[in-house]
Structure 1
């Protein structure tokens, strides 16, 4: 019986994935924390399955493909769309400012009194 056994690709460590993508390990950790990249933890280690890496790479490449609706915000029209997941400042919102810094105590105009004692002749 000749059964063909195809081994599953090994999961990536954070360092291996960062090297594959040419980015920092911090970015990989950020993607994991945000939930964009799923991982599993054998003990204290963090591993990302090859299938999950492929899923994320396909998702990222699909987001970079412009759709037919992208002419509304093209560079020629001067429009801009905010990046996904980024906050946008609202111009008309009232700015919240904290309390002013506390004032320092003013001296009464006199310098401090120094008592030298009998040994300071």
Structure 2
């Protein structure tokens, strides 16, 4: 996973936690107290960092290449998503995702923009820019 510069303290703590868990499992040591303390510290550091982001850091976060896109949310939040397409007479805008889905058996319409991850998909989806026609 790709991390931003301001996330490094969080990554370092999470690495320590992973190392302690591996050590605990491998050597049958009880490091529960140390793990709990480090997990609380991760929560605290995460809160401190993300509550004081600069404008540029927020921009970096919003442009992060691994940030979830519309179809990621559809895949993880909804059941039975059925995508709807254009009017068959004119066109279908690939940058807009629209469909019918359910959450807990409640039907709803879902609409959002999809930018695309790869260059080929970005070109296909017009870099997430809907067409005005």
TM-score bin, normalised by smaller chain: under 0.3
Q: TM-score under structure 2 normalisation?
A: 0.26
User: Counting strand residues as a fraction of each chain, which structure ranks higher?
Assistant: 2
Larger radius of gyration: 1
Q: TM-score under structure 1 normalisation?
A: 0.28
User: Counting helix residues as a fraction of each chain, which structure ranks higher?
Assistant: 2
